[in-house]
Structure 1
Amino acid sequence: MAPNRVLTSPSPPSNEPGTILLETANLIIRRWHPSDAPALALAANFPSITPNLRDRFPMPYTLADAESYLTNFVFSEEGYPHAMAIFVKPNSGHNSSSEPLFIGGAGLESKGDVYYRTWELGYWFTPSAWGKGYATEFAKAVVPWAFKTWPRLNRIEAFAYARNEASQKVLRKCGFALEGVRRGALEKDGEVLDECVMGILRSDVIKE
């Protein structure tokens, strides 16, 4: 029987919905909560989001889609921070409201099997949050946090469509290296596209 390889943490974050995982100067990054469904549906329902995402991200994005995602994907697993909600802090120059402002979602997904020490990073942001540095601020915080929280995590990788130069720029700013291009790896909306493979190692971030 193949070994069941999983990463453990000496101080894992709580699985409780809504648990704050980390904060940055402008952002709150936390686990999803069932009450996030309306905000998710509102922020995700923009056709301009989907050209650089996989087809499992529906469009239009309805409240039923949001509730299904939270029920069938987010809350069906425990342990890893495989799905995260991203908010702008309240009462700030970026958000004058007294409540956190939801702007996007992200995930760290274990590759499993012999790749269990590698996680895949993915993220998306609602259009009103583009061009404000939030993606870079998020990734610069979550990558070292993940390496520190799971000591045997050795690699985080991310995939970006070759045409998505903005996402590649974010990843490079956060220390990811372009490791290769998977030519003709995917088809999106009838167009065959190349995909960039980008990665960062524990040793690039944690100097031990």
Structure 2
Amino acid sequence: MEPVALRTERLVLSPARLDDVDHATALLQEPVMGTMLASLPWPYTREDSEFYIGRMVPAGWASGEALSWAIRESEDGPQLGDIGWRPPRGDVGFWLGAPSRGRGYMTEALRAVVDWVFETTPELDRIGWEAVAGNVASARVARAAGFRYDGERPVEVRFRDGSFPNGWHAHRLRSDDGSAHEGWPL
């Protein structure tokens, strides 16, 4: 599959580029990233970022199995975070660097990806989301983007230590209008 760029009112979502390596590496040094993104190598190194951006991102797009976008304020702006759609699992995942939080960027990016997925995959009726139980920031984004809370159970993505700790799970239906739903643990 050829990479696709998405645009929102304030953002450009496009595949990460090699010139994003240093900035992405710096953003992922925040200790909370090691806790909440526990499938991420930790400590996260420049080599990890080079591997992800230089090999995993292109391979994911080429196979169609892991589509990821760097989040930017402009086409040539620095990477603020990352959002991905994993078709085999039917779910989304995301992170945003601390300097860009609190502006609604991640909710805007998530809405754009969900809209694109439903638009380009007419047979799909449901998109999933999961986060480590207690990841309130991620849950607030999913709730604001119209996801419905399903409950707490082990995560489906194996953590770097081989475990599957408890996570919060939610979904968004094609028929949902994108408004927030009650029942979230926050």
1:110 is aligned to 2:87: yes
Tell me how far 1:137 sits from its aligned partner.
1.2
String of CA shifts for 1:18-40, please: whole Å, max 9, x gaps.
Answer: x5x21112211012223322222
String of CA shifts for 1:92-115, please: whole Å, max 9, x gaps.
Answer: xxxxxxx4131111110022xxxx
TM-score (ref. length: structure 1): 0.72
1:176 is aligned to 2:180: no
What number of residue pairs does the alignment pair up? 174
Check whether the contact 1:47–1:59 (CA below 8 A) recurs between aligned residues: no
Structure 2 counterpart of 1:203: 175
Q: Could you say what the CA RMSD is over the residues aligned between the two structures, in angstroms?
A: 2.8
**1:184 and 1:156 mapped to 2: Cα distance?**
15
The amino acid across from 1:84 in the alignment is W
Tell me how far 1:168 sits from its aligned partner.
1.2
SS of 2:67's partner is coil
Counting only pairs closer than 5 Å after superposition, residues 24-103 of structure 1 correspond to structure 2 as 24-55=8-39, 57-77=40-60, 78=62, 80=64, 82-89=67-74, 99-103=76-80
Tell me how far 1:172 sits from its aligned partner.
1.1
SS of 1:197's partner is strand
Name which of structure 1's ranges 36-45 and 61-70 shifts more when overlaid on structure 2.
36-45
Structure 2 counterpart of 1:9: none
Check whether the contact 2:68–2:82 (CA below 8 A) recurs between aligned residues: yes
Q: Percent identity?
A: 29
Structure 2 counterpart of 1:3: none
Name which of structure 1's ranges 141-150 and 73-82 shifts more when overlaid on structure 2.
73-82
Structure 1 counterpart of 2:135: 164
Tell me how far 1:53 sits from its aligned partner.
1.1
Structure 2 CA distance for partners of 1:45 and 1:183, relative to 1, 3 Å:
closer
Structure 2 CA distance for partners of 1:24 and 1:79, relative to 1, 3 Å:
farther
Tell me how far 1:79 sits from its aligned partner.
5.4
Q: Which runs of 5+ in 1 are unaligned?
A: 1-11, 91-98, 112-117
Structure 2 CA distance for partners of 1:140 and 1:72, relative to 1, 3 Å:
same
The amino acid across from 1:168 in the alignment is A
Structure 2 counterpart of 1:95: none
Look at both structures and tell me which one has the larger radius of gyration over its CA atoms.
1
